[in-house]
Structure 1
Amino acid sequence: MATTVKKAAQRQGFKTGEYIVYPAHGVGQITAIEEQNVAGYALELLVINFEQDKMTLRVPVAKIASVGMRKLSEPASVKKALETIRGRPRVKRTMWSRRAQEYEAKINSGDLIAIAEVVRDLYRSESQPEQSYSERQLYEAALDRMAREIAAVNKSSETEAIRQIEQNLTKGVGRKAAEAPVAELEEDGDEQEEAA
C-alpha cells in the first residue's frame, strides 16, 4: 500500500494544521493530507490526530460530509453553549436506559449546544445526591468534549475551559433555589407512548 503525502494543504475547506470536530471523537488536528492507493483506486485522506486519545484517524476526503466532520464552533456558538448550561436542567420521565441513549447520541452528534444540554442535565452540585456510575461517565464524556472544543476555540487550556464551564454551571438559573434530587421534570409525548 503506497502512501504519498500531498503538497496541497487544503481540501473541501479543511487545511493542514487546523483543528476540527469529528463527531464520534471530538476535537482533533489535521496533520496531513495523504493519497493512498487502495485496491487500485487513489484515495485522498485527511490525517487527523486526536492527541489526548493518542489516536490518528484517516478520513477519505469524499466522506467528510457523511461523517459529520466540521470546523470548530464560532465564538458566538461557544457563548450560546455556556448560556445553555446556565439554564434549568430538563430531565424527561423516561427510563434511564432510554435517556442514556439520548445523551450518548447528543454527545456523539458533535453539536456543541447538544453536548452543553447533556452537561447541564447531568450536572450535580455538592449539595445534591451522588450520580450513578453511568450518569457520571456520560457527564464526564460530555464535559470533556465541550471543554476540548471551548479550549480550541478560545486558544486556552482544557483546565481553563473546564473552570469556565463549571463557573457557568454554578451560576445556573434555579440551582441555588431548593435543589431537589431530581431536576425539573419535562413532560413530553414519550409518556403517552409508553402508557399506551
Structure 2
Amino acid sequence: MKPTGLDFKVGDHVVYPAHGVGHVAGVETQEVAGMSLEVYVITFDHEKMTLRVPTKKAKTAGLRPLAAEDVVSKALTTLKGRARVKRTMWSRRAQEYEAKINSGDLISIAEVVRDLHRAENQPEQSYSERQLYESALDRMAREVAAIERIDRDAAVAMLTKSLTKAA
C-alpha cells in the first residue's frame, strides 16, 4: 500500500476537487527534473482533459474515492432542507459558493445547489447565480451518476426531484 493511504486502480472513479469525477486511466512513472515520479493518470471525459497527480501527493491534492452511501444520503437530505442565504454582498457569497464547489465535498456542493435553486414561482436568477447553480448541480449529478451507475441526466432528474419536494 502507498504511504498516502490512497490506492486507486485503473478504471476506478475518483473525485478531484477542482474538476469533479474522473477515472484512473493508468499509473505511470515519469521523469521530472531528473527524478522518477509515479503519477495517477486521471481522465475527465466531460472536460476532455487528462490530469496527472503524483501518487504521493494524491491525498494532499484532495483526490478521493466516490462518496460513500451515507454521504450521498446526507447530501440528498441537505437538498431537501431550507435554503440558507446569507445577507452579505453577492460577490462575497459567490466566492463562498465557488469555494464550496471546488472543495470537492459532496455535502458542501449540495448546500450550494440547495441555496441557489429556484422554484417555478420564485424570481429569476441573475446570470452569475445561474452559472454557479448549474456548475454545482453538474458536479453533484456527475458524482451521484457514477455512484448509482446511471447517466448524468437521470442523476439531474433525481436531484431536481429532491429539490422540488423541498419547495
**Which amino acid is 2:127 matched to?**
Y
Report the equivalent of 1:143. Answer: 137
> Is residue 2:72 matched to residue 1:84?
no
Aligned counterpart for 2:110 among listed residues 108, 116, 135 = 116
The within-5 A match list for 1:163-182 is 163-172=157-166, 175=167
Distance 1:125 1:117 in 2: 16
The TM-score with structure 1 as length reference comes to: 0.82
1:22 Cα deviation after fit:
0.1
Question: Equivalent residue for 2:150?
Answer: 156
Corresponding letter in the other structure for 2:80? R
Please give the secondary structure, in 2, of the residue aligned with 1:101.
helix
Please show how residues 1-196 of structure 1 align to structure 2 within 5 Å. 12-172=6-166, 175=167
Pair member with larger Rg: 1
Gaps of 5+ in 1: 1-10, 176-196
The AA in structure 2 aligned to 1:81 is A
* C-alpha separation in 2, matches of 1:13 and 1:65: 10
**Aligned-residue CA RMSD (Å):** 0.9
Task: State the 1:148 CA deviation.
Answer: 0.2
Identity %: 61
Matched residue SS, 1:66: coil
SS in 2 for 1:32: strand
Name the count of aligned residue pairs: 163
> 4+ residue stretches of structure 1 with deviation over 2 A?
none
- Structure 2 residue ranges without an equivalent (≥5): none
Alpha-carbon distance, 1:12 to partner: 3.1
CA contact (8 A) 2:11 2:25 kept: yes
Counterparts of 1:127 and 1:39, CA distance in 2: 58
Is the 2:79–2:113 Cα contact (8 Å) retained in structure 1?
Answer: yes
Normalised TM-score (structure 2): 0.95
